[in-house]
């Protein structure tokens, strides 16, 4: 199945990262690394590299920062024809300290009043944008920005579903956001707004904690093994929201900020089949051992992109989750939010080539 245009709606920001493992107080004032990033744009960048017509729907300020951001998106192959330029608002920023050993990473947001937070959903022209589209990808982050952005997220999902277009959503909880309604606890606001969005979502990405916090899904935790835990949560989500077609999750065991055990899970709600990746030669589910994390940011977005690639092309679910898990594993080795790897590299890891030998 050849997909049409894949759309993603969400904010893209300036990423200000400290060189190496410096902390903010060590690096500033001084030289820092600047890029452009956002969860939806990260997923679209990988999808574009896989040959898809991937386009970002967002709002950016009508100034040189907006121009530079659009140039960066185009460089990564992401279409920008759906970007709304506005005199209202600014380019959001986030500042990143990478974690190391037992010190976790840290993100500081500076995105209040950004252009997408101020731009109403009607300004994007969804009827026109969805012509020829075969997929829409959203995240919970957009709803966390402002009431205007949350309403726009719901409007986008409604417009897509009214045309029979699948809608994927990565819950992406952000504990430092969800502050736009004074007097309402962030957890309560997140659940309220995500329960407005979920009726229009067909493919969901989010772990057990995300499902519990943002959607109120609950299961009996008295069971054995990680496999049964993930399956129970995914089934509970599908029981609570029976229109869901699939639920994907990553599994992460991180003894510290520099190391990780990484794997993936996917439930196809239409058939009840669940698949896990990676698997060893005997077919037993295992994990990718990551012994040196270069950059954690955007790795979940690479997983989501891999799933969308599989879903939108009608791939077998076992292959889709294996591809998504391998892509997101490799994303840990790449500096920056975007997963700058090739399909050949992903498929080589799927086939067991993970030794890291230099290619000459």
Asked whether residue 138 carries a pLDDT value surpassing 60, the answer given is: yes
Question: Which tens digit of pLDDT belongs to each residue from 55-99?
Answer: 999 999 999 999 999 999 999 999 999 999 999 999 999 999 999
Question: Which tens digit of pLDDT belongs to each residue from 264-279?
Answer: 999 999 999 999 999 9
Question: Which tens digit of pLDDT belongs to each residue from 233-256?
Answer: 999 999 999 999 999 999 999 999
Q: What is the second-level CATH architecture of the domain 38-58+132-350?
A: 3-Layer(aba) Sandwich (3.40)
Question: Which tens digit of pLDDT belongs to each residue from 177-203?
Answer: 999 999 999 999 999 999 999 999 999
How confident is the model at residue 2, as a pLDDT?
55
How confident is the model at residue 352, as a pLDDT?
87
Domain boundaries, the chain: 38-58+132-350
How confident is the model at residue 357, as a pLDDT?
55
For 160-182, b/e burial (b = at least 16 CB within 10 A) is: bbeeebbbbbbbbbbeebbebee
Q: What is the pTM of this model?
A: 0.95
pLDDT band at 3 (very low <50, low <70, confident <90, very high): confident
As a whole-number percent, the residues of the chain with pLDDT over 70 amount to: 96
Question: Which tens digit of pLDDT belongs to each residue from 291-327?
Answer: 999 999 999 999 999 999 999 999 999 999 999 999 9
Asked whether residue 358 carries a pLDDT value surpassing 50, the answer given is: no
């Amino acid at each position: 199945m050849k997909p049409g245009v894949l759309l993603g709606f969400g904010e893209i920001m300036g990423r200000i990262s400290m060189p190496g493992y410096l902390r903010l107080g060590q690096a500033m004032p001084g030289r820092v690394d600047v890029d452009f990033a956002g969860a939806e744009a990260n997923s679209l960048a990988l999808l574009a590299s896989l040959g898809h017509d991937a386009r970002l729907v967002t709002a950016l300020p009508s100034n040189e920062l907006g121009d530079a951001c659009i140039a960066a998106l185009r460089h990564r192959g992401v279409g920008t024809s759906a970007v709304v330029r506005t005199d209202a608002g600014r380019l959001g920023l986030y500042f990143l300290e990478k974690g190391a050993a037992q010190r976790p990473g840290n993100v500081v947001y500076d995105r209040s009043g950004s252009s997408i937070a101020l731009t109403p959903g009607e300004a994007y022209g969804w009827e026109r944008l969805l012509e020829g589209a075969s997929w829409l990808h959203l995240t919970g982050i957009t709803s966390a920005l402002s009431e205007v952005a949350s309403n726009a997220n719901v409007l986008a999902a409604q417009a897509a579903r009214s045309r029979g277009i699948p809608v994927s959503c990565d819950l992406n909880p952000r504990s430092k956001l969800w502050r736009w309604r004074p007097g309402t606890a962030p957890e309560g606001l997140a659940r309220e707004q995500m329960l407005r969005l979920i009726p229009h979502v067909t493919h969901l990405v989010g772990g057990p904690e995300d499902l519990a916090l943002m959607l109120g899904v609950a299961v009996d935790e008295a069971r054995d093994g990680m496999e049964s835990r993930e399956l129970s949560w995914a089934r509970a989500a599908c029981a609570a929201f029976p229109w869901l077609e699939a639920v994907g999750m990553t599994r992460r065991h991180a003894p510290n900020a520099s190391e990780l055990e990484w794997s993936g899970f996917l439930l196809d709600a239409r058939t009840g089949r669940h698949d896990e990746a990676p698997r060893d030669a005997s077919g037993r589910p295992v994990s990718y051992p990551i012994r040196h994390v270069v950059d954690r940011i955007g790795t979940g977005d690479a997983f989501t992109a891999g799933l969308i690639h599989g879903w939108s092309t009608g791939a077998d679910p076992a292959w889709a989750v294996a591809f998504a898990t391998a892509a997101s594993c490799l994303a840990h080795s790449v500096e920056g939010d975007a997963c700058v790897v090739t399909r050949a590299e992903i498929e080589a890891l799927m086939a067991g080539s993970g030794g890291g030998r230099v290619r000459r």
